[in-house]
């Protein structure tokens, strides 16, 4: 059974960079046609797709966040990471990592990590 777990700081100051890592267990990040994904959900709102990465390093980003987002993968450690720069209070959300089956829809999710942007 594939499991995903987010880790990283829960508090980030405005204008700084948010960094999170997702560790995948129960399966290899290189197996199957899977795209490793970051999704966020502001309090009381619907989810927002941030972007995903294939194990080869190919990335796709939400156009609205593209200038500030970077997703990377470390296949030797079976994890992938998110960096979001120049954060503001609007970036406060629960951040989820997920597995994108064929990149289309998301079948395994982490528990989520609340990140608050505040001074």
Partner 1 sequence: DIQMTQSPSTLSASVGDRVSITCRASQSISSWLAWYQQKPGKAPKLLIYKASTLEVGVPSRFSGSGSGTEFTLTISSLQPDDFATYYCQQYNRSSRTFGQGTKVEIK
What residue ranges bind partner 1 (CB under 8 A)?
Answer: 45-49, 60, 62-64, 96, 98, 101, 103-107, 109-112
DSSP state of 10: S
Q: Quick one: 102 or 119, whose CB is closer to partner 1?
A: 102
d(CA 3, CA 107): 11
Compute the least distance from the CB of residue 47 to partner 1, in Å: 5
Compute the least distance from the CB of residue 7 to partner 1, in Å: 15
Compute the least distance from the CB of residue 114 to partner 1, in Å: 10
d(CA 14, CA 12): 7
Q: Quick one: 85 or 112, whose CB is closer to partner 1?
A: 112
Q: Quick one: 76 or 90, whose CB is closer to partner 1?
A: 90
Q: Quick one: 63 or 119, whose CB is closer to partner 1?
A: 63
DSSP per residue over 51-107, as a string?
A: EEE-TTS-EEE-TTTTTTEEEEEETTTTEEEEEE-S--GGG-EEEEEEEEETTTEEE
d(CA 43, CA 20): 18
């Amino acid at each position: 059974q594939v499991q995903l777990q987010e880790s990283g700081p829960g508090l980030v100051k405005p204008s700084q960079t948010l960094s999170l890592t997702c560790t995948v267990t129960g399966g290899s990040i290189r197996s199957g046609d899977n795209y490793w994904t970051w999704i966020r959900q502001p309090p009381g709102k619907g989810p927002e797709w941030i972007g995903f990465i294939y194990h080869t390093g190919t990335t796709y980003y939400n156009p609205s966040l593209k200038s500030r987002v970077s997703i990377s993968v470390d296949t030797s450690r079976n994890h992938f990471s998110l960096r979001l720069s120049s954060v503001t209070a609007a970036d406060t959300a629960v951040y989820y990592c997920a597995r994108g089956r064929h990149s289309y829809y998301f079948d395994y999710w982490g528990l989520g990590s609340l990140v608050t942007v505040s001074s």
